[in-house]
RNA sequence: CGGGGUGUAGCGCAGUUCGGUAGCGCACCGCGUUUGGGACGCGGGGGUCGCCGGUUCGAGUCCGGCCGCCCCGACCA
């Protein structure tokens, strides 16, 4: 339950973030360090994210399956970069049923290895390809510094794992799924993202190329909101995934993997939230419309409640909540649901019943500015229209914010200044040394080389050598 | 793993200096009045004071040890 005000977002962003999550009952700290409990309101948001993604996966021919939580330690060791990347953050089971295990079992940090092993059994011929499997599940990475939703020891996600006959096909799949993530982020979450390629230093352990969608949070820091990897034949060779091609010659398959996690809940919170609390995009909000009935006397109540009921029936196609609590005042409810980010509030009192109207109050425009009197005629259509408007305004606002905080540095000093206050889009020669120097000097890393490039050529912002691509430098979560 | 902070009712804290049997606000329960932007009155319930040990007639308070959690730095969806 809400009592007093939240921390001011611009004054103490991390504290604001924590308080919003705890107070809106999205999640809570678990008794184990670095672990969280996703509470029903947070999980409902995640379920809507899952549905939005899952229907896109199905539409592109993918099917769901479930692979085990435990992976033999030796599996991870088969791919050199993979084990090097993940070994510092593995949880390892050494005892089972009171007996010391002959081979330790890793609690999966990701499932490329065990899925690769299974694919080697299942794939014989080019006729078995492509294999397009997705898994919804949880994974464990023993992180040192944790934050609710953004980085916890255990998190929930989906991981897609596909196998293809040709490199071209696999690369297409990698980009198709990156595009799927971008489409979801932009159109359902109203989170503007930059699709791009990761530098070698930032790529997934074991991938040939990694792609990402990067989003700017309300404090201008960057968040990797989803990733898609072209794994080449690295895992095919490690797990001997071979098929007979059209000429009856044995070939290694080409694989991809792509994932999006509960971290995205954090992305939504930090993209749209304001001092009043959460602001949820209508398409994903667990509650799209909250109805607050207003009355003083029993007589008023008996006039208002039937109208509330009738309206609720009319709005069956939306996720509607009627807040009929008697023990708190309407004013309290307004603040409470605003904190919880419900996109649209409908107030109905005796005066409205008399006039045949209701009050719409938009979450994205607080106070008087966001209130309007609306006729009860065609209410469902008006609600649909309003939710659409709010959805669009959230995206526009977030995009404008990102544009206002993205800069084109003219020299290295300029770059150092910019990384203190936003994103820098600069020419980069591609040399890891230049990248490392920036990180050393500014704590900003390369976020991605956007797929959309200005073209032409320039000089590397760090060393001045010729460069053909621009990269985003920014501090990141 | 290093630095900082903290642990007393569900939450936020006071009490620890100087030992004497635990308190405040919010939340919770009951009744009544309230209700168009965070209501109020009256009455009530709830605590092995993080854990273990020591000193003492007596420990939330003093001494020793341990642990948890949060925040800040090196790795990461």
Distance set, CA A333 to CA A149, A337, A338 (Å): 27, 6, 8
Interhelix angle A40-59/A263-272, nearest 10 degrees? 110
Q: Which letter does DSSP use for residue A87 in this model?
A: G
Cβ pair A462, A434 in contact under 8 A: yes
For the segment A285-292, the average pLDDT, to the nearest whole number, is: 98
Per-residue H/E/C for A154-194: EEEEEEEEEEECCHHHHHHHHHHHHHHHHHHHHHCCCCCCE
- Give distance CA A327 / C1' B30 (Å): 14
CATH for A13-272, options being 3.30.930.10, 3.20.20.70, 3.40.50.10860, 2.60.40.10: 3.30.930.10
Alpha carbon distance A400, A167 (integer Å)? 38
Q: Which CATH number fits domain A289-384: 3.40.630.10, 3.40.50.150, 3.40.50.800, 2.40.30.110?
A: 3.40.50.800
Q: Could you tell me the residue ranges of all domains in chain A?
A: 13-272, 289-384, 407-474
Q: What is the dihedral of CA A8, A11, A14, A17, to 10 degrees?
A: 20
How confident is the model at residue A2, as a pLDDT?
36
Strand B: which of residues 156-195 in chain A lie with Cβ below 7 A?
157
Pair A473, A438: CB distance under 8 Å? yes
- Cα separation, A354 vs A377, in Å, equals 14
CA-nearest of A378, A467, A394 to A431 is A467
Q: Once rounded to an integer, what is the mean pLDDT over residues A449-473?
A: 95
Measured from Cα to the C1' atom, the residue closest to B34 is A296
- Position A408 confidence tier, pLDDT thresholds 50, 70, 90: very high
Percentage of residues of chain A with pLDDT beyond 90:
81
Rounded to 10 deg, the angle between the A167-187 and A40-59 helix axes is 140
**CATH class as words, domain A407-474:** alpha beta
- Tell me the per-residue pLDDT of A122-180, one tens digit each, with 9 for 90 and over: 999 999 999 999 999 999 998 888 888 999 889 999 999 999 999 999 999 999 999 99
* Residues A208-225 as b or e (16 or more Cβ within 10 Å = b): bbbbbbbbbbbbbbbbbb
Identify the bridge partners of residue A161 per DSSP, sorted by sequence position. A133, A257
Note the pLDDT of residue A334: 95
Of A160, A138, A189, the C-alpha closest to A36 is A138
Q: Are the C-beta atoms of residues A447 and A423 closer than 8 Å to each other?
A: yes
Give pLDDT, residue A4: 63
Cis amide leading into A130 (omega within 30):
yes
What does the pLDDT look like over A12-55, one tens digit per residue?
A: 888 888 888 888 989 888 877 888 889 899 999 999 999 999 99
Please spell the DSSP secondary structure of A104-150, one letter per residue.
EEEEPS--HHHHHHHHHHH--BGGG--EEEEEEEEEE---SS-BTTT
The Cα-based distances of A343 to A87, A95, A249, A364, A387 in angstroms read 43, 49, 58, 7, 7
Check whether residue A291 has its CB closer than 7 Å to nucleic acid strand B: no
Among A73-87, A376-390, A399-413, the minimum mean pLDDT is found in A73-87
pLDDT in tens, A206-257: 999 999 999 999 999 999 999 999 999 999 999 999 999 999 999 999 999 9
Q: Which nucleotide is nearest to A336 (CA to C1')?
A: B38
Burial of A306: CB neighbours in 10 Å, binned 0-12, 13-18, 19+: exposed
**CB of residue A16 closer than 7 A to nucleic acid strand B?**
no
* The dihedral sign for the CA sequence A319, A277, A387, A402: negative
Return mean pLDDT, chain A. Answer: 94
Structure confidence at residue A1 as a pLDDT band (50, 70, 90): very low
Q: In Å, what is the separation between the CA of A477 and the C1' of B7?
A: 29
User: Sign of the C-alpha dihedral, residues A415, A416, A419, A420?
Assistant: negative
């Amino acid at each position: 339950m809400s009592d007093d005000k939240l921390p001011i977002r611009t004054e103490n962003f991390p504290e604001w973030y924590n308080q919003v999550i705890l107070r809106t009952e999205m999640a809570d700290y678990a008794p184990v360090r670095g672990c969280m409990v996703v509470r029903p309101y947070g999980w409902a948001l995640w379920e809507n994210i899952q549905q939005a993604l899952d229907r896109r996966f199905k539409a592109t021919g993918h099917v769901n399956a479930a692979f085990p939580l435990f992976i033999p330690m030796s599996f991870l060791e088969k791919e050199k970069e993979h084990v090097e990347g993940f070994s510092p953050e593995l949880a390892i089971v050494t005892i089972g049923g009171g007996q010391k295990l002959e081979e330790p079992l890793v609690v999966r940090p990701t499932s490329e290895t065990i899925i690769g092993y299974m694919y080697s059994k299942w794939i014989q011929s080019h006729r078995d390809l492509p294999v397009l499997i997705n898994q919804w599940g949880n994974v464990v990475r023993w992180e040192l510094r944790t934050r609710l939703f953004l980085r916890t020891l255990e998190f929930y996600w989906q991981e897609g794992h596909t196998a293809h006959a040709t490199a071209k096909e696999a690369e297409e799949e990698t980009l198709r799924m990156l595009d799927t993530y971008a489409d979801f982020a932009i159109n359902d979450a109203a989170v503007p993202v930059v699709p791009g390629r990761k530098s070698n230093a930032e790529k997934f352990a074991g991938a040939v190329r990694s792609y990402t969608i990067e989003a700017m949070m309300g404090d201008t820091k960057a968040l990797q909101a989803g990733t898609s990897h072209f794994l080449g034949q690295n895992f095919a060779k490690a797990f001997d995934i071979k098929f007979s091609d059209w000429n009856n010659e044995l070939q290694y398959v080409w694989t991809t993997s792509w994932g999006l996690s509960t971290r995205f809940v954090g992305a939504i919170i930090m993209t749209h939230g304001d001092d009043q609390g959460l602001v949820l995009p209508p398409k994903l909000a667990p509650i799209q419309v909250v109805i607050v009935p207003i009355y003083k006397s029993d007589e008023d109540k008996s006039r208002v409640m039937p109208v509330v009921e009738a309206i609720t029936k009319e709005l069956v196609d939306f996720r509607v909540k009627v807040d009929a609590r008697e023990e708190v005042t309407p004013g309290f409810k307004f603040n409470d649901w605003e904190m919880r980010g419900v996109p649209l509030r409908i107030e109905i009192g005796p005066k409205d019943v008399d006039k045949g109207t209701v009050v719409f109050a938009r979450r994205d425009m607080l106070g008087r500015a966001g209130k309007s009197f609306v006729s009860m005629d065609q209410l469902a259509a008006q609600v649909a229209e309003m939710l659409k408007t709010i959805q669009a305004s959230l995206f526009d606002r977030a995009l404008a914010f990102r544009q206002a905080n993205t800069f084109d540095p003219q020299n290295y000093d300029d770059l150092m200044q910019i990384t203190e206050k936003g994103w820098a889009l600069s020419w980069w020669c591609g040399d890891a040394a230049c990248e490392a120097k920036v990180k050393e000097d500014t704590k900003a890393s390369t976020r991605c080389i956007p797929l959309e490039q200005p073209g032409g050529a320039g000089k590397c912002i760090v060393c001045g050598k010729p460069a053909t691509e621009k990269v985003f430098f920014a501090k990141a979560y």
